[in-house]
Chain A
Amino acid sequence: MISSHVRLIASLNKDLIFRCLIDGSGSDPKEKKSAMGKYVLKRIIYSIFSLLVVVWAVMLLVYSLTDRSAIFQTDDVWNKRSNNDRVLYEYTQYSKYGYLEFVNFNNYSKQKWTEVYGEAYDSAKEFVDDKAAIQKTGEAYLDNATVQEFINYYSSKGYNIIRLDTQKYSTGKTKPGGTGYLLAVKERLMIVRLFDYIKGLFTIETTKDVADESLTDRYIRVEKDPYGGPFAVVGSGTTHKYLFYFDSRFPFIHQNWIHLNLGVSFTRFRGQEITSVISEPAGDLKTIRTQYPAQLGTDIYVDTASDFHTLTYNMGELTAAEKEQFNDKYTIATYRRSGLSMLENSFVIGIIATVIEYFIGLPLGILMARKKDSWIDTVGMWYIIFIMAVPSLAYIFMFAAIGTRVFNLPYKFANAEIKVLAYILPTISLALPSIGSLMKWMRRYMIDQMNSDYVKFARAEGLSEKEIYSIHISKNAMIPIVHGIPGTILGCLTGAIVTERVYSVPGVGNLLTQAINSHDNGIIIACTVFYTTLSLISLILGDLLMAKVDPRISFESKGGR
C-alpha cells in the first residue's frame, strides 16, 4: 500500500525533473509566473476531467453490476411489508437512491382530480372510480379512462408500465399488503446520474431558497451575533439563518453558505447525508445554558442542546411555544454533540503521526546515509525491509499486542477510560511504518546526492563534512521528499483503513470498507469522489511545492521529446 503510493509519487517526480532538465531554466521570473499559472490551470482542468471519468467508471461498475436489492437485507421497513406493498417500497427506495424514475398511478389520478375539484378531490366520484379500477383483477382495469390516459402518457415518454395485480386469498379477501398498483418506471441512464450528482455536489444558499410566499423580507446582511461571536452573516429567505458565524468549537469559524453534498448513504446510515455523517460529531448531547432568540435580553434562560447557530426555516405551522421563543420562522436547530466527528478523529491521529514521522524519519534517514555501512545503517535497513515486506496488518497487531500487554494502553477506542490514551496506539501504529518508508527514501536520495560532482567540489573547496551534509546534500535530497508532504497531510483526511479497523477508531478510514461490506453504494461513490479529489489536489500541490523549493524546476513546456 505504502510502497505503491510512494512509487507513484516517485515516478511522477522523475518525470517532472526529467522534463525540467530538458526545458532548461534560465528564463525571467515574470514569464515563469505566467507559465506556472497556465500549467496549473491545465493541470486542474485535466484533474477535473479524470475525476469525472473515474466517478463515471465507478458508478457504472457499482450501479450496474452489483445486486441492487442487497440494500434491503438489513432494512426493517422492507421486512415488515409484504406482497405488493413490499414491491412498491422497493421501487420507492430505488427512486430515492436514483436508480430509476417512477410514478404511481394513485398520485397521478390524485393530481388530476385536484386540478378539477380542488380540495374535495377524494370524495369526487371519478377519483373513487379510478381507485377502484386499479383493484380489479385481470385486464378489467384497462376500461378506466384515467388508466388509459396514464398508460398512454407515460409509454410515450419511454416509461415501462408495471401492473401489480391485487393479491387475494382463495376466499376472495385481499392479502395483507396485497392491494393492486399501477406504476410507470424508467431506468435512469448512468450519464444522467453522473450529471445530476455533479450538479448537486455544491449548493450555494440564496435568498430565494425558501419557497414560502408569506416571507417577504428577504436579505443577507452582517449583524451582531447574540450567541457569542463578534458578528455573523445572517440571511432571511435562505435555508439557514446563520450563514457565517464564529463559536467556541473547533475550527471556530463556521459557514452554512456553501454545502458539499457527497450523496446519501444507502444502508449504513440509511438515508443520511454522507457529508454530515463524516463531519458532525456523534457523541452525547451537550446541553448549555442559553436563551431563545425571542427571549434574548430577558432573564429567561433555558438548558438545551439546540445550537441556535444552526437554525433552519420551518415550512410548517409554528406551535404556540415556538411563537413565543422565536422571532421568525427559523425554528429548527440541530443538537450540539460532544466528541469529535469521524473526519476529526482520523485527522487528529493522522496529523500527529505525520509530524512524528517527519521529525523522526528524516533525521534517521540522513544519519543512515552519513553512516553508510555502519551498524546504524544495517539496523535501519532491516527495519525498512521489515516495514516494506511484511503485511501492514502483521506489525499493527504486533504494536497492539506490545502496547496493551507491556504498556497497558487501551486497545479498543470505545473502551478507553481516558480518551487521550486511546489515541496513542493508533498514532504509533500509523507513524512507525511511515517512518520506515521515509527513512528509505531519504537515505536513497542522500546517497544519490553524495556521489554527485558538486559534493566533490564542495569537499575540494574545503567545506567541512557537516556543512556539506547540512547545507548542500540534505537540501537537494529534500526536494523529492517535499513533493509528498501535501499528499501526506491531505491523506490524513482519508483515514487509515487497517489502523482504524484494528483499534475500532470511529474515523473515515473504515467508511469505504464498511460500505462495501454492507452494500452501501452511496458511500462507495462518495468515497471515490473524496479520495480521488484529495489525491489529485495533493499531486498538484506537491508539484507546486517542489517547484517552489527548487528554482531549477520550470513549468514551460517548450520543446521536449
Chain B
Amino acid sequence: MANNVNVKAVNEDELFTFINNDSIESEKIIAPRYSYWKSVFRVFFRKKTNWVMLGILALLLICTFVIPVFCNYDPNENVTVATMFNQSPVNAMKATGGFSFKWCLGSGQLGNSIFYGIWASARTSLLLAVICAAINMTVGILMGAVWGYSKAVDKVMLVVYSIIANIPYILMISVLVYVIGAGFWSFVFALTITGWVSISYFFRTQVLIIRDREYSLASRCLGTPITRIVSKNILPFLTSVIVTLLATELPSYISMEVFLSFIGVGLSASVPSLGRMIQEAQTAFLSYPWEFWPPVAIASLLTIILYVLGQNLADASDPRTHM
C-alpha cells in the first residue's frame, strides 16, 4: 500500500518528527484493498499439490481435445484384419512396423487402437459431464433460489421433490435411457430432466438458512430491494457451496456414464465412450488387461483430479480461509 502521509525531512537527532495535520487525509479509512477472487486464487495456489494437479489436468485436457482432432479414431478400421484383434502393445507395434503412439496401448476386440480410443472417449465423457453439470447447476441454482424465497413455490415443489426423491435415481435414468434411446443428447436429457431437483433442494435449504439471518432481516427492514439482497447478502455466502457442489457433480457424471454404459443402458455404439470401452473389455479383463485398464485409468484420473481440485477450490472460496 502506498503511504500517503507526508513525512518531513528526518532530523538526524530526533527519532520522532511532527507531521502536518491534514484534516481531509485523516478522514480516509485505510484498509488493505480486498478482492474476493484474488484472495481465492492466492489461497488456492498456495498449495503445491494444486499446481501438480492443474498440470496433470491441463495435460489430460490437451490430449483429450487435441489428439482426436489430428488422429481420427475409427473403431472399425481393422474390423476385417483378424490378426490385429486383441493384440498386446508389443505385438500390435510389431505388426504395424515399429513404435507408434497409436498402438502403444495395444489393440481392442475389433483391432481398434486403444490409445486413440481412450482420448476420443474421454472427450465424450468430459463434454457430457460439462454439459450436464452446466444445465443441472444453472437450473438447480435458479430454481433453488426461487424455491427458497417464495413460500407458494415451496409448497408445490416440496410435493414434487418428495415424489422424485423417492424414485431410485439409477432406476429412473436407466428407464429413461431405455425409453428414449441411447444417443448423446438423449443421455444428457435423461441425466438432466430430474437431476436438477436434488441440487435445487439442497440450494433451497441453504437459501432458507441465510434468508432469515439477522443481517438479512435488518437489510430487508432498511428497504433493500430483493435483487440486491440476493446478489449482495445471499450469493456471496453461497459461492463456496456452489463450488463444493460443482466439485462433486462434475466427476459424478463421468462415473454415471461409465456405470450406465457398463450395465448396458449407456451411450449407443456409435459414440465412443469410456464406459463402453470398459464394458467391452470387462469379460476378458484378466486375459487382455491392456484393453481394460487404460479407459479405467483415464476415467479414474479425470474424476479424482476434478474432485480434488474442486474440493480445494471450494475450500479456498470460503472467505474464512483468506486470513
Contacts and interface: CB of A to CB of B under 8 A. Distances in A.
Contact of B307 (A7, A389, A531): A389
Interface in A401-420: 401, 404-405, 411
**B205, B208, B252, B278: most-surrounded residue (chain A CB, <10 A):** B252
B59 interface: no
B248 interface: yes
A3 B166 contact: no
Which interface residue of B176, B202, B208, B255 has the most chain A CB atoms within 10 A?
B255
Contacts of A15: 205
Given A4-B198, A385-B307, A392 B255 contact: yes
Interface in B131-189: 151, 162-163, 165-171, 174-176, 178-180
B216 interface: no
A527 interface: yes
Contacts of B169: 1, 4-5
B286 interface: yes
B300 interface: yes
Given A47-B166, A53-B163, A390-B303, A497 B263 contact: yes
Interface string A278-321: 00000000000000000000000000000000000000000000
Nearest to B278: A393
Contacts of B256: 1
Interface in B298-313: 299-300, 303-304, 306-308, 311
Contact of A65 (B179, B254, B299): B179
Interface residues of B, number: 47
A124 to B, nearest CB: 50
A394 B299 contact: yes
Contacts of B178: 62, 66, 516, 524
B304 A516 contact: no
Contact of B175 (A47, A524, A535): A524
B292 interface: yes
Contacts of A65: 179-180
B282 interface: yes
Nearest to B289: A401
A532 interface: yes
Given A14-B205, A513-B263, A50 B303 contact: no
B251 interface: yes
A7 B263 contact: no
A15 B263 CA distance: 34
B157 to A, nearest CB: 13
B166 A536 contact: yes
A352 B163 CA distance: 31
A54 interface: yes
A390 B264 contact: no
Nearest to B248: A3
Contact of A394 (B168, B170, B202, B296): B296
A397 B264 contact: no
A388 interface: yes
Interface string A366-404: 000000000000000000011011111110010011001
A65 B205 CA distance: 36
A389 B175 contact: no
Binding site secondary structure of chain A: helix
Interface string B242-270: 00000010011011101100111100000
Contacts of A411: 286
B303 A531 contact: no
Interface residues of A, number: 54
A360 interface: no
B174 A516 contact: yes
B41 interface: no
B285 interface: yes
Contacts of A524: 175, 178
A453 B13 CA distance: 56
Contact of A397 (B174, B201, B208, B285): B285
A392 B259 contact: yes
Contacts of B311: 385
Contacts of B202: 7, 11
Interface string A506-528: 00000011001100000010011
B303 A513 contact: no
Contacts of B198: 4, 7-8, 11
Nearest to A61: B179
A117 B177 CA distance: 55
Most chain-B Cβ atoms within 10 A of its Cβ — which of A50, A58, A390, A405? A390
A4 B170 CA distance: 10
Contact of B171 (A14, A391, A527): A527
B163 A54 contact: yes
Contacts of B168: 494, 531-532, 535
Given A54-B163, A527-B171, 17 more contacts: A4-B198, A5-B169, A11-B205, A15-B205, A62-B178, A389-B300, A389-B307, A391-B296, A393-B296, A394-B299, A397-B292, A498-B263, A516-B263, A516-B264, A528-B175, A532-B171, A539-B166
9 tightest A-B CB contacts, nearest first: A389-B307, A391-B255, A513-B263, A391-B258, A390-B300, A389-B303, A65-B179, A50-B163, A389-B304
Interface of A: 1, 3-5, 7-8, 11, 14-15, 18, 46-47, 50-51, 53-54, 58, 61-62, 65-66, 385-386, 388-394, 397, 400-401, 404-405, 411, 494, 497-498, 501-502, 512-513, 516-517, 524, 527-528, 531-532, 535-536, 539, 561
18 contacts: A1-B255, A385-B304, A389-B251, A389-B307, A391-B258, A393-B296, A404-B286, A411-B286, A497-B170, A502-B282, A513-B174, A513-B263, A513-B265, A516-B174, A516-B263, A516-B265, A517-B264, A561-B151
